[in-house]
Chain A
């Protein structure tokens, strides 16, 4: 899979979040915290991570998932693994 740009990753995450928890795509910006700002619970985060793995072709281990607090954290993680 081609390496995605930061914007492409953001758009992809926003789409996944919209689809899974119904938060509007425009709400999903890099600085947002999943729990505090987007009201996403831990089980929904598992679903989002599984979808993100499929979409970006990267593995997100459970240990790492716990550290991904904001949308930017996910963007950085995906970019690091893709590069």
Chain B
């Protein structure tokens, strides 16, 4: 049981993903089993081992003026887009920031709840940061010299840039943070946000993750690791967790942001509550810089610690949104970890899905996006299917949703969202349904 009596709830959701330009369109595409994975159309794409990715459904240029985009890396722009949606969906008034006073348009509901900036925090992570900016500015330097390099290069490439921009836009003065732990980054962001509220540092925290690094260098360097699917002739079928013919992950881009709030604060303002952010568990593999510990001990530990932090028993868990990236080794190793973490009996009753089959792998954005999917699965009582699961791996002995979405029973329910990152970072976030 957690030491703190403060309960943390989820009151706002936002995203821009390969499946849709906002959260509702993303969720309905996910339930319909649609794929956000597309061929890349770069000039020299044939020189790359992987020629497809899960690119954004709606380009930021469709919703943001070019003058703003020229000083934001793509990962920062999409974090702002997702944060604006989350802020508005929480019913908050436009923030009373310096910029808003100058007449700049801001997100929010006119006449909505005015959030106290001193009690507002931000935790927005990116695993990679502004890769596009770093490489574009390097090209400018080589071609035109240092004086033509944009003076925004540093704030655009730093991985905490998105967190900074979100904090500025909404006037968050309780603290602005960016946890970096590769593909576990935004799982950690949610966990840190829960702790900020429990510790009394903030009443409201804007938290999430963002990533946009679909760049030839990434296709080459993940390709060099032999980590990515090379199913170039069938991109939509390339991400296939738990399928016998899976051959690696598919790189995706996108941002997902949620509003966490102390229950007391949310109830006092009559907020719509989507779910309870019940707790978070962490562990370090201390094994290898890229390979997960094959024993699964670290991953299992993270799940057990999440349960302990949330005050839940293994039997309370009805659903897990697995990390499952569609790599030959990783997917089945995680299932072993789930059995070790929850115990065979409880694990056999859990409904598991792998949504990266449709979104691709958002790296530093994955933990937050899949946390939102987990919250919505509990709230709406429906778990999206794992796409492309045609010929199930012989080693899979747990209940994976395939084909159609699966209904969850009514009543008390809790779920876990797993995120594991290069470096041996294991994070599991626990959510509970609001009754």
Which residues of A are in contact with B by a Cβ distance under 8 Å?
19-22, 39, 43-44, 46-47, 50
Contact = CB atoms under 8 A, between A and B. Distances in A.
Interface string B124-168: 000000000000000000000001101110010000000000000
A43 B67 contact: no
Interface string B50-79: 000000000000000111101100000000
20 contacts: A19-B67, A20-B67, A20-B70, A21-B67, A22-B65, A22-B66, A22-B67, A22-B68, A39-B102, A43-B71, A43-B151, A43-B152, A43-B155, A44-B71, A46-B151, A47-B150, A47-B151, A47-B152, A50-B147, A50-B148
Contacts of A43: 71, 151-152, 155
A28 to B, nearest CB: 14
A57 B161 CA distance: 34
Interface residues of B, number: 13
Contacts of A50: 147-148
A83 to B, nearest CB: 25
A46 B148 CA distance: 10
Contacts of B151: 43, 46-47
Nearest to B104: A39
Contacts of B150: 47
Contacts of B68: 22
Contacts of B66: 22
A19 B65 CA distance: 11
A21 B148 CA distance: 17
A18 to B, nearest CB: 8
Nearest to B98: A39
Given A20-B67, A21-B67, A47-B151, 17 more contacts: A19-B67, A20-B70, A22-B65, A22-B66, A22-B67, A22-B68, A39-B102, A43-B71, A43-B151, A43-B152, A43-B155, A44-B71, A46-B151, A47-B150, A47-B152, A50-B147, A50-B148
Contacts of A44: 71
B383 to A, nearest CB: 44
Nearest to B152: A43
Nearest to B68: A22
A43 B102 CA distance: 19
A50 B67 CA distance: 16
Contacts of B152: 43, 47
A10 to B, nearest CB: 20
Contacts of A20: 67, 70
